[in-house]
Amino acid sequence: MPELSGKCLCGNIEYSADTEIKLMANCHCSDCRAATGAAYSTLVFIDKDALQVTGTPGVFHHKADSGADMEKHFCPDCGSQLFGKNSNRPNMMSIRVGGLDQTSLVKPAVNVYLSSKIESTPVDPELKGFEKMPG
């Protein structure tokens, strides 16, 4: 199992997890774009119980287009986006790869929410793609 670790920009929140990566995806939804200020967000999905966090992230709650309750966890000091939860996947936690120490592990398997993709954003044709979030 890979050891995952990382931190926010200011270093006040650190995290680690010794766990299998369940999925790695590029998300092009408008929520991820707005939250990150980027064309898309790359996320690592793991079992939520495997994540160990030092520090206290802030949490922003909102509804996804699917009706799911969403949480965005961020550093209240520097604003770095760190984690996410989706009520449709209660046992999973997503980690935004921007703060991940093990950048060699960043190999997304899919693109999701291609229906919301910014037209000029290049997409790897080798990756499976979905118009929304698959079931």
* Mean pLDDT, the chain, whole residue set: 94
The predicted-structure confidence for 57-83, as pLDDT tens digits, reads as follows: 999 999 988 888 999 999 999 999 999
In degrees and rounded to multiples of 5, residue 71 shows phi and psi of -130, 135
- Does residue 127 sit within a domain? no
Q: Which domain holds residue 9?
A: 3-118
**Taking 80 as the threshold, does the pLDDT of residue 33 lie above it?**
yes
- Output the DSSP codes for the chain: -PEEEEE-SSSS-EEEEES---EEEEE--HHHHHHHTSS-EEEEEEEGGG-EEES--EEEEEE-TTS-EEEEEE-TTT--EEEEEETTSTTEEEEEGGGBS-GGG----EEE-GGG--TT----TTSEE-SS---
- Does residue 110 sit within a domain? yes
pLDDT of residue 34: 93
**Taking 80 as the threshold, does the pLDDT of residue 135 lie above it?**
no
Q: What is the CATH number of the domain that holds 72?
A: 2.170.150.70
- Does residue 73 sit within a domain? yes
Query: Looking at residues 88-116, what average pLDDT do you find?
Result: 95
Total domains in the fold of the chain: 1
